[in-house]
Amino acid sequence: MLMLSVDVVGLGLNAMDTICMVDRFPQPNTKTGIRNVRREPGGQVATAMATCSRLGLTTRYIGSVGDDDLGRAQIESLHQSGLDSEFVRIVSGATTQFAIILLEEGIGERTILWHHDPALNYPPKELRREMITSGRILHLDGCDSEAALQAARWAREAGIPVVIDIDELYDDSTDELLRNVDYLIAAEEFGQRVLGNLDPEDAARTLADRYGSPVVGITLGDRGAVFLEKGRLLRSPSFEVKVADTTGAGDVFHGAFIYGLLQKWDLEQIARFANAAAALKCTQIGARRGIPTIEQIHTIL
């Protein structure tokens, strides 16, 4: 079968988020009223792919959902975002990944409780090489560890850059996976858990030394991001906006980062563009509702 070529292939998490808006995060042994409840699609790679699509790229999303109402809602959201979702598995009897997000109204900071059914892990045997190599960039989050490692190896053999959004060590294969990526972008919390109490610049240097990625980034939330490119350190500040919800900001950052890579911009321009996209997302509630257009990003730039 002839495989459709796309700009970006993403393999990893999707989720359905139930966002509960509260006045303040509850203390132990107290009750807190919920002001409003919303259900929104999210998930690291799925949201990054939706961002790429919003910015005009063609995208393929590879992942799994359960055969439940949440799964049907997730698939509908992928269709609405314009993603190629032919390779989304519907797993009988599984529960689609979901999260309960407590959002402090007026502050925008959130606390996430999430559940991932192990049955959703994408089996490597169901991957085909052309699913991966028909894209110009591969984006991963490491959750589907065995499948992600196989996909990364295929991509590198084909000369396709691999980007990863990593926020935890999922299992023993994560180390090997990180040795097979070109753009290792980690959440600040990942560096702290894996490397100890290093500042972001030292964390970036340590990750680069350990895994050999040409570009390593540490995302710092409202403090922007730090990048190390072949020994050269770059700090990219965030943009000041009125924050409604930070959910999905990192995922949008990664999607915008991939867009910049495909435009062949230099790293400083890519990081600034990605920070602007992430900031604009934070002005709306929900992981994907606030994904900006290119025109909106250039306005804030």
Q: What is the per-residue pLDDT across 10-62, written as a single tens digit (0 to 9) for each?
A: 999 999 999 999 998 888 899 999 999 999 999 999 999 999 999 999 999 99
- 3-state secondary structure (DSSP) of residue 214: coil
Paired with 169 in beta bridges are none
CA distance 299 to 301: 5
Instruction: Work out the percent of the chain whose per-residue pLDDT is above 90.
Output: 86
Per-residue pLDDT, 244: 93
Report residue 1's pLDDT band, with 50, 70 and 90 as the boundaries. low
With residue 16 as reference, give the H or E element that holds it: strand 15-22
- Asked if pLDDT for residue 108 goes beyond 80, the answer is no
- The residue-averaged pLDDT of 140-160 equals 96
DSSP conformation letters of 175-187? HHHHTT-SEEEEE
Per-residue pLDDT, 172: 85
- The residue-averaged pLDDT of 116-130 equals 96
Which amino acid belongs to residue 278?
Answer: A
Per-residue pLDDT, 193: 82
Report residue 196's pLDDT band, with 50, 70 and 90 as the boundaries. confident
pTM equals 0.96
95, 67 Cβ separation under 8 angstroms: no
188, 219 Cβ separation under 8 angstroms: yes
24, 75 Cβ separation under 8 angstroms: no
Place of tokens 């911009």: 265
Per-residue pLDDT, 293: 97
- Asked if pLDDT for residue 109 goes beyond 80, the answer is no
What digits encode the pLDDT tens for the residues 233-286? 999 999 999 999 999 999 999 999 999 999 999 999 999 999 999 999 999 999
